[in-house]
Chains A and B, each alone.
Chain A
């Protein structure tokens, strides 16, 4: 009777040993997979740094007659509400697109990242100057061809938010010339004319000088001005 009990106990202990050994192996295997998965999910932030070269300037009309400015295709503006959006960008990057996520993910699980860093675009050519020249006479004192940069206020929605008001055009350069541009290979700013233009037409040329001594220039559409009644 005693032998039987001992025999049964010995069998049970063996089964338990086999069972626990298998569990250990499975746990170990899963742990290795998990660690591999974690390693392959890691992101090197440096891989999200890109170089950009400003080579394109785009101007869009702004409708600033209401509460907030909105982009518009219309070339008609109120004389006290002449405003534009200017975008400087790297056409090459925008056209090709950027692979924003590492492809070496381990199959089996949906990749889960602890963080998704924004790509950072480092400019090869820094912005060194901005000038706005009127192509139409704004008043008898401001004939066509005058540099009217000082007559504009600005807003750089992503980079300066001092409050409700604009920044002076003299502060615009320091607001848009940055060590890097997060998320997009471009920088956008808004220009608001502070002068009520006396004539019935307005057109401006916007020149951006860059550190590689190149200049990006664009001309606004010919704007027809209307007045408050």
Chain B
């Protein structure tokens, strides 16, 4: 995922600085590059602990307005023949360009188009070992005393409709996207020891694919502010909402005392509702 994101990081500036061809018959008719800062707010349900660990109960979510902040770059290209492409890349404070929103747009009508694209973003899963610390009485629930945290990526493909509206210096673009996505698979290990006892056990989790349908509407508003030659500088705002309902199932393997004779179990967890709201604002340059 990071590799694709890095390719995008090179692609965006390359597109931005590509030579300006003569207006007549040029392949790219118009270009836009943007820089923005955004916030991401996560809302998820937390189900009561059952017999098994449910990783989705531990996706990072808090009462704060926004769990994540990010810096983003984007490019929008208008091609000859009613085709458009939109590339958005965002990064957290680690400056790894891991959030991607890439769309191809076909505009058969002036105010209606069809979109198809790829969407991916990372989020944190924190302290999933708390399940064992709380549930497994008589045991040291997890002998790993570190803060248990891992990053998971939601990755999917999507399609939808786009409704662009422009009036003088105001540009509004609405997109209604839907698609199918999955949470990246991962492996985790929890080691336990009986309190006042010799028994030790090790539990290993290996999650499975978790495909689910998602709905992802977006609205983008741009206001042209200055015109310098053939270029236009403006401010932009973008808001989106993402909702999905999914479960994360896994294979659980338990060893007791020694690494001989493991017990294996396929665990199916209940589906969780999950949504995120994003808002970002910044500047754009069109030429």
**Interface residues contributed by chain A, number (CB under 8 Å):** 21
Q: Please give, as numbers and ranges, the residues of chain A lying within 8 Å of B140 by CB-CB distance.
A: 67
Asked if A14 is at the interface (CB within 8 A of a chain B CB), the reply is no
Cβ < 8 Å to A, chain B residues 168-202: 191, 193-202
**Cβ–Cβ contact B257 & A194, under 8 A:** yes
Task: Choose among B195, B198, B255, B259 the residue that contacts A192 (Cβ–Cβ < 8 A).
Answer: B198
- Complexed CA–CA distance, A125 and B236 (Å): 82
| Known contacts A67-B140, A163-B202, A164-B191; is-contact A80 B259 (Cβ 8 Å) | no
Asked if A153 is at the interface (CB within 8 A of a chain B CB), the reply is yes
**Cβ–Cβ contact A81 & B198, under 8 A:** yes
What would be 23 A-B contacts, judged by CB atoms less than 8 Å apart?
A: A65-B196, A65-B197, A67-B140, A78-B196, A78-B197, A80-B194, A80-B198, A81-B194, A81-B196, A81-B198, A82-B198, A83-B198, A153-B198, A164-B202, A165-B200, A165-B202, A165-B257, A166-B258, A168-B260, A194-B199, A194-B257, A228-B138, A228-B197
Q: Please give, as numbers and ranges, the residues of chain B lying within 8 Å of A153 by CB-CB distance.
A: 198, 257-258
Q: Please give, as numbers and ranges, the residues of chain B lying within 8 Å of A81 by CB-CB distance.
A: 194, 196-198
Known: A65-B197, A193-B198. 4 other contacts (CB 8 A): A83-B198, A164-B191, A164-B202, A165-B257
**Interface residues contributed by chain B, number (CB under 8 Å):** 19
Asked if B82 is at the interface (CB within 8 A of a chain A CB), the reply is no
Asked if B264 is at the interface (CB within 8 A of a chain A CB), the reply is no
**Cβ–Cβ contact A80 & B196, under 8 A:** yes
| Known contacts A67-B193, A166-B258; is-contact A80 B199 (Cβ 8 Å) | yes
- Complexed CA–CA distance, A166 and B140 (Å): 17
- Complexed CA–CA distance, A194 and B194 (Å): 12
